[in-house]
Amino acid sequence: MRKIGVLTSGGDAPGMNAAIRAVVRKSIYEGVEVYGVFQGYQGLVTDNIHKLELGDVGDIIQRGGTKLYSARCPEFIEPAVRQKAIENLKAKGIDSLVVIGGDGSYRGAQRLDEEGIKTIGVPGTIDNDINGTDYTIGFDTALNTIIDAVDRIRDTATSHERTFIIEVMGRDAGDLALWAGVAGGAETILIPESPSDMKEVAERIESGMSRGKKHSIIVVAEGVMSASQCADELHKYINVDTRESVLGHMQRGGKPTGQDRVLASRLGAFAVDLLLDGVHGKAVGTENNKLSATRFDKVFEESHMIDEGLYRLSRELSI
Ligand code: F6P
């Protein structure tokens, strides 16, 4: 009988549990045994691998985090460490693995695939920075969490006529900042993909003030600078009352939205379908709402691009 493994790796994302559930249930539906690898790649190396049954993934579709735990495992770059992982899988007769995670997790999956374990990647990260899919699992939930925070901050920003600087996650990618900024009506959005000109930001705030606008919201991705650095930079050009809010890891938690649950369910099941059809070495996604699979090397070929049109729109709407 075929045996498939599943793990989550890297930063967790709401909807990962729904993806695990889909992999497990679809495998069992197809008559395949399925094994959960706990603690990501680390669990592969330490042999923290356990058979999962239908009931093991009951009551998790609505939960944030990951039932399989997640860990970063930098030593997985070492061939000898991967060899140990492969031996552990083979000892249990597992020849295929579904890796739910982001870019770093995909790199481990690609290596394993080249070394004899058939792998499929499922995009799970709040950052939405993976090529080969329009959206990653967790992005929509994190986005809505940020929007809720921005709305609340706007209330108090308006009452006190202050400029608020809200720092959101996104070490290398600005999707969360951009989308949340647009949806939250932020006056300024600072993202790693576009140079930040704080003089221009100050001028925009000033021009708003000259029209009677007394408050302003700046959404800054952590990869650009911290909220406090942003305040310091701003004060070089303008004397405004500022407050900073760092949203931090609350952005990674919480109940997944319907959108994320459905995406995770579709992609988890599709990953199993592909493995059973003999397809591997690819990452799944949805492109124009259709399921798609892209070779890992293609996924890595270019760095993730921001939606330029949305960025332009954000500037047009926040004059
Ligand atoms: O990769 C997702 C992400 O949320 C980034 O946006 C963030 O910079 C990073 O994880 C933080 O991860 P951790 O604190 O878990 O190392």
- For 2-28, the pLDDT digits (tens) are 999 999 999 999 999 999 999 999 999
List the one residue out of 224, 232, 111 whose CA is nearest residue 176.
Answer: 224
Please tell me the distance between residue 252's alpha carbon and the centre of ligand 1 in angstroms: 8
First vs last C-alpha separation in the chain: 62
Determine phi and psi for 96, rounding to 5 degrees: -135, 150
Pocket test for ligand 1, best of 171, 219, 249 (most atoms within 8 A of CB): 171
Residue 252 confidence (pLDDT):
98
Average pLDDT estimate for 113-136: 98
Residue 27 confidence (pLDDT):
98
pLDDT > 90? residue 132: yes
Q: Which of 17-21, 246-250, 303-307 bottoms out in mean pLDDT, i.e. has the lowest? A: 303-307
List the one residue out of 82, 129, 130 whose CA is nearest residue 121.
Answer: 130
- Counting every residue written for the chain, the total comes to 319
Average pLDDT estimate for 69-98: 96
- Residue type for 224, please? V
Query: What domains can you pick out in the chain, each with its CATH number?
Result: 3-138+256-301 (3.40.50.450), 139-253 (3.40.50.460)
Alpha helices in the chain (DSSP H): 16-29, 40-45, 79-91, 103-114, 139-160, 175-183, 198-210, 227-235, 258-276, 296-301, 308-317
Residues 6+ apart with CB under 8 A from 205: 163, 187, 188, 216, 234, 238, 240
pLDDT > 90? residue 1: no
Residue 190 confidence (pLDDT):
98
Pocket test for ligand 1, best of 106, 143, 169, 176 (most atoms within 8 A of CB): 169
Average pLDDT estimate for 259-280: 98
pLDDT band per the 50, 70, 90 thresholds, residue 164: very high
pTM: 0.97
pLDDT > 80? residue 197: yes
List the one residue out of 108, 89, 88, 91 whose CA is nearest residue 100.
Answer: 108
Q: Which of 44-53, 140-149, 211-220, 248-257 bottoms out in mean pLDDT, i.e. has the lowest? A: 211-220
Average pLDDT estimate for 142-169: 96
Tokens encoding 183: 């949806």
Annotated binding site for ADP: which residue ranges?
A: 21-25, 154, 185-187, 211, 213-215
The alpha carbon of 241 is separated from its chain's Cα centroid by a whole number of angstroms, namely 33
Catalytically active residues, by annotation: 127
pLDDT band per the 50, 70, 90 thresholds, residue 318: confident
Residue 319 confidence (pLDDT):
76
Query: ipTM of this model?
Result: 0.94
Q: Is 134 buried (19+), middle (13-18) or exposed (0-12) by CB count in 10 A? A: middle
Residue 72 confidence (pLDDT):
83
Residue 80 confidence (pLDDT):
96
11 lines ligand 1 (CB under 6 A): yes
**CB of 99 closer than 8 Å to CB of 122:** yes
